[in-house]
Chain A
């Protein structure tokens, strides 16, 4: 029997991975935050290198905190034993030295009173302060396995018949009919079954259910594009037409389908149109046609300044609107394409000497700087792209128009910035770094995993999930082709074990 942790999302590990990425790539640009303990995630994992919470080398903030700096039950137990008598706040050095012995002292306790000791949960990678999260047995006993083989579903292993039905429902939107199911049951041999599953998947990947308007891929983009009918322009316009999000959905669908590079959601310098929806047919719009568009649907950013979906007219209209330093825009790009929600303190990679507060918004206050040391340098590359004010254009001198409202210093905000600890000269480079990052690949796979497997990837899925997102980046495997990745996703145990 294998003991693995349950109810612990790999998604929640992303915030801690941010530290790993930044730590490896940035080094000097990092600054310790006044209200957090940046060394904690690494120090925890140095004490428990084999913990399943430490696959990235960094534990997540939620190990000890609810919303940092507030502590959860485990954090409270730890705090009581951490260098007692030493004046607070502890220096980073004092914290790191005291941590191992304090952790040792509470290994036998059970912070969340779920019947499993802190140490057992640390090893399993389950949540230390949640009674609903505890180590689970994730493999069948021998007698279960033999009985399962006789049952209708093989719950102890990959069940091809089950997977066949799921593929039809998940990707084609319908149950297989009886003849199809019986024909599949007649296929013998693992290789032949896998081939048949692949063929079934290929048939569905071009279906209207998968790629059509309001199809599965389209709906994956909803939270990234955040359409609003009232301000839609173009076909089927709303009452106050400002931008046409059909361009965004079409580009998203294009990059996520066929033999195409999914990084184009952040790198494309072209637009795509939907020639027909059943059968689904998409094609790139010649740039001359884009330039000839009328006022309601124009895409004024010149091609060489475009960065996929984060420089479209819709993205600027709905996020940047009238702001000089469009933090909302950068935060949405970070959330949508890297999976990190700064509002939830995810993906914080503080940059020294930030924030400069060029627009006098008070973001330098300690309680604000916790996030703005990351967010502001992430935002600067967006400052040359106009929103509603300025007509969605690119303008190197854009910030001059904001002096009256935001003060004279606003024009000093640079168009260079820092993302994932890496300095970038502009938004095109920003998007390139983002698109080639681990968090981007994880986020792409995680989006599909949630829809197709039906839940967030959890600790027991770590090996398969990791293989998929690493494979997405690997030129010899999926090479950023979503459909290739999906062919392997449907062969995972997470997908095919009932």
Chain B
């Protein structure tokens, strides 16, 4: 089970909206990921596998965690699913 942090710059708000959608996608597709949400301070000491944030924030955060997903459209489940599947593929390749 992989651990993901869903975070945006200002704690409560977009990160919660994003987490609601990501959790739906995870549940519908039975993905081996669980999420927690927070703000950028939560990144300090975060020992999980994945950061999920909005695309405009993804670049500045890409060096903080092993893998960062940036979402463009918070209601686009296909985009979220595709990016989560890419992450799982990346992990599978790495663990081979």
A and B together in one complex: no
Which residues of B come within 8 Å of A, CB atoms?
none
